[in-house]
Amino acid sequence: MKKEQDRWICLTLKINLLAFQIRFKNKKNGFYRSLSSGGNKLLGISNFIWFNNSFDQGFYRSSITIMGNIEYHFFFRLSIFQNLNSITRQLLIRCKKLGAFNVQINDLNSMNYIDLKLLSSPSGMSAYQKVLKTYKGLKGSLNQNDLI
């Protein structure tokens, strides 16, 4: 990630716990699955097609906050860098359509403390769910010093 800093999008969002329970049936991967493969369309393109064309690797983690929300931290690697503004806008809109609020896109330099510590530790990646082709990319070539 450190070497390809400009190719990674760091996304943080929150979802109301009750809305999450109803919409995603308490499945922690429910939001990601809807974002990456749901039938929702924006600009005539389904989430599945858009997501697979926009990103080629990534990982995420989720947690329940004190305020009764589900908080997600996503890290997506762009497959095509030229459309960064369009991809970022569509990512924000698609997340909000799925019920997310307080959606923020951050750069890797302003990563929160927990993610910084997790990605710095040898066993930290086990706290994240991998997406797309990440398992292939990380298998055997994961060097923790290169992550942050």
pLDDT (tens digit per residue) in 12-71: 999 999 888 888 887 878 899 899 887 778 888 898 999 999 998 899 989 888 888 999
Question: What is the arithmetic mean of pLDDT over 105-125?
Answer: 79
pLDDT of residue 13: 94
Domains along the sequence of the chain with CATH: 5-147 (3.30.70.260)
CA distance 73 to 129: 10
CB 136, CB 59: distance < 8 Å: no
Q: Is the pLDDT of residue 105 over 70?
A: yes
Q: Sorting pLDDT into bands at 50, 70 and 90, what band is 138?
A: very low
Asked whether the predicted pLDDT for residue 141 surpasses 80, the reply is no
Task: Kindly report the pTM of this predicted structure.
Answer: 0.82
For the segment 72-99, the average pLDDT, to the nearest whole number, is: 88
Q: Are 133 and 56 in contact (CB under 8 A)?
A: yes
C-beta atoms surrounding 2 within 10 Å: 12
The answer to whether 31 and 128 have CB atoms below 8 angstroms apart is: no
Q: Which residues pair with 60 in a beta bridge?
A: 74, 129
Looking at 1-138, list the stretches that DSSP marks H as alpha helix, in order from N- to C-terminal side.
17-24, 30-37, 47-54, 84-97, 113-120, 134-138
Give dist(CA 58, CA 132) in Å, integer: 7
H or E element: which one contains 8?
strand 8-16
